[in-house]
Amino acid sequence: MKDLYNLHNFYNVETNGKSSKQLNNRGKSFGYQVLGFGSGVVAETVVAPNQRGIFGYGVTDEQVSMTNLVSTSGVVAADVTGVGTARYDPSSASYGIDKGIFAYGEGGGYHSVSNLVTNLGVVGSDVTGVGTARGLVGAATYGGDKAIFAYGRVHPNDYTMRNLVTNLGVVGSDLSGAGTTRAAVAGTTYGSNRDKAIFGFGNIRGGDPPYSSITNLVNNVGVVGADVSGVGTARHGLGAAAYGEDKAIYGFGTTGSNVSLTNLVSNTGVVSADVTGVGTARNWVAATVYGGDKAVFAFGTVTGYTAVSNKVSNVGVVATDTGAVGTARASLSGTGYSV
């Protein structure tokens, strides 16, 4: 049993601090190549957008493995019995166009195990971990059907390393990273056909203050770029997800005090200035896409744990709180699945 809220407050000084996207369906061609008519030339591979989401793992008074599915209309469902190692601060992303993966995290030590999510939202048992076991890792989809995990912390060290995930859900070994070493970054996909990703914000151990607004763009082959000067309020414990056809949103988090503000990300990876927050200010939230072009933030800590959610429209407008569903908790993760 642990009071993670207080643990995280301690880590804000000493150490600690934690998405996914899609595209218009263009006839929902589900990853098929669209041919230039009569030319014999392949024009592009169209990726269908995720229609549903899933929140998983986290902490109440102890780490859990339960999940909550999100419908095509953004309704968060009741708890589903957990599968795999109970843990908090895992990360997740969609892969293979219509599936998801949870990996890494903390709880009784650091973990590198992963759990695959089918296109029906069923979470699989633990897959032996690959890469450095760590927590507070960022994750995002890139290249249309692959995923990347990057950054993270094994107290007292922060990392920039990355682990690429194939379109079959196989996690690769550690690769060199880029940018400022930090933890509790939030990652999400953006751009046409979910081909690029962005990691942003986070916790810099030993920083004064320890909060960051730096971002790092990921290209369509999973290479992380150098630091981009931060825009918006530096913070960590926020969530990120895609919305619209090719954009993304960061929201909530803490600067030492909880906030509800958001920052929109353009289809070229440019982060906007702060947008006045809507909904309960909180940190250690999770976010996922749903309905193909919308997003939802849910769960987190206020002074205790909460399960409220806030939907995001396909133009990036955040709605007021939706009543809590599922076990109130924090330090969980969310990703899209299904098409």
Domain positions in the chain: 4-337
Q: Is the model more confident about 15 or about 69? A: 69
Confidence band, pLDDT 50/70/90 cuts, at residue 44: low
Mean pLDDT of 241-267: 97
- Report, as an integer, the average pLDDT of 151-174: 97
Q: What is the mean pLDDT of residues 179-200?
A: 96
Contact (Cβ atoms closer than 8 angstroms) between residue 11 and residue 17: yes
- Contact yes or no for 292/303 (Cβ under 8 A): no
Fold of 4-337: Neuraminidase (2.120.10)
Residue 33's H or E segment, with its range, is strand 33-36
* Cα–Cα distance for residue pair 242/316, rounded to 1 Å: 9
208 — pLDDT class (breaks 50, 70, 90): confident
Non-local (6+) Cβ contacts of 99 within 8 A are 116, 117, 118, 119, 169, 337
5 or 218: which carries more pLDDT confidence? 218
pLDDT at 327: 98
Give the chain's count of helices (H) and strands (E). 1, 20
Count of other CB atoms within 10 angstroms of residue 196: 25
Which residues, 6+ apart, have CB-to-CB distance to 148 below 8 Å? 93, 139, 140, 141, 142, 162, 163, 164, 165, 187, 197, 218, 222, 224
The pLDDT of 269-295, averaged and rounded, is: 97
Three-class secondary structure assignment of 117-178: ECCCCCECCCECCCCCCCECCEEEEECCCEEEEEEEEECCEEEEEEEEECCCCCECCCECCC
- Give the whole-angstrom CA distance, residue 28 versus residue 76: 24
Stretch 101-124: mean pLDDT, rounded?
98
Across 11-25, 123-137, 194-208, 221-235, least confident range: 11-25
pLDDT above 90 as % of the chain: 83
Identify the CA nearest to 151 among candidates 194, 116, 180.
180
To the nearest 10°, the Cα dihedral for 332, 338, 222, 45?
A: -160
Instruction: With beta carbons less than 8 A apart as the criterion, state whether 217 and 164 touch.
Output: no
**Predicted pLDDT of residue 46:** 65
**Tokens 């880029």 belong to residue:** 178
